Structure 1
Amino acid sequence: MEGTALMTDAAAENTGLGQRLNEALPVSPEAFVSAMRVQATAVNVVTSDGPAGRVGVTVSAMSSVSAEPPLILACVNRRSPCVATIRRNGVFCINALSVEQSHLADTFAGRPSNGVPFDFEAAGWTSLETGAPVLVDAVANLDCTIHEIVEAGSHTIFIGLVLAAQHRNVKPLIYCDRSYGAPGPLGE
């Protein structure tokens, strides 16, 4: 940004800012969760299949990392048994859900209103390059091999190299303030 000066590490150290930041206590988990709860996010089911088995889990923490090479990340809670399976399989697919697929978000979050938690029979699946389950009729599917794994706090961050991608022109499912919704145009 024009006219904005960036503070170097040395300058921060000279002003005492670096020391103050190192001594600062993080916000409470409750305050953090409360602030994040009002952030609208896409809803995705991350899937994997291979020698370690077939798994799927609902995630909202997903983001593109780079277009060249095509990298994407998904964050999965380390307590989830899916973490070890995805790691051993070495592949995963991010399946972006449409507004018609909120039941799958609940199913792969382990709390279906009807049926069995984590049940692949709740939807139609196919595969692309890696063999990871690809959700039929999803907004988008990003089929990946694991590029890097980062442990951060309570989550494992899977960074994937995208080998295949496809999408449909339908409304994505979003989650905000503990409710599902759909994006729409701003009113005039």
Structure 2
Amino acid sequence: MEISNAHQEINITPELQARIDELLGHYPDDKKKSALLPVLHEVQDAHNNWLSIPLQDKVAEILGIKPIEVYEVVTFYTMYNQKPIGKFMFEFCRTSCCAVRGAESLMDYTCEKLGVAEGQTTADGMFTIVGVECLGACGYAPMLQLGDYYYEKLDRPKMDQLIEDCRAGKIDLHKLAIRE
């Protein structure tokens, strides 16, 4: 398990607690653990898109389960971040179709352009670049996921434009439009 030394304030606001309670309401009282994945999503979203160990412990407490049960899920699924990430996380698909269409070299290009290695965050906290397994858009390779949206048929000029749009504040992760 990767452990971050970064401090994270735990802030279960009344709004977040109401959302957690709503999610728990979908399951019988003795099956609260069934809500673990959606609760983790909500908690992560409310805490700068990452889950520290103390925050994972808080989720375990809320659900009445052992902390290890939360750790197992957080370390298994790549959608949960165990350390602080940039405002924009470029998740490059690097499996067969994307690799054949140049995803690795495009990810390398992006890392070089931003001055980071894969898995790192830029010094300004804007960008994190990671390679991920198949995102299921093989016909649109090479592609990446940013937030909940796919950017497809990428090349260097499109990547340059995406970075520029992020820096210029033109990308709102809560109101993204899919671009080709």
TM-score, normalising length from structure 2? Answer: 0.26
More helix by share: 2
Higher relative contact order (CA 8 A, sep 6+): 1
Larger Rg: 1
More strand by share: 1
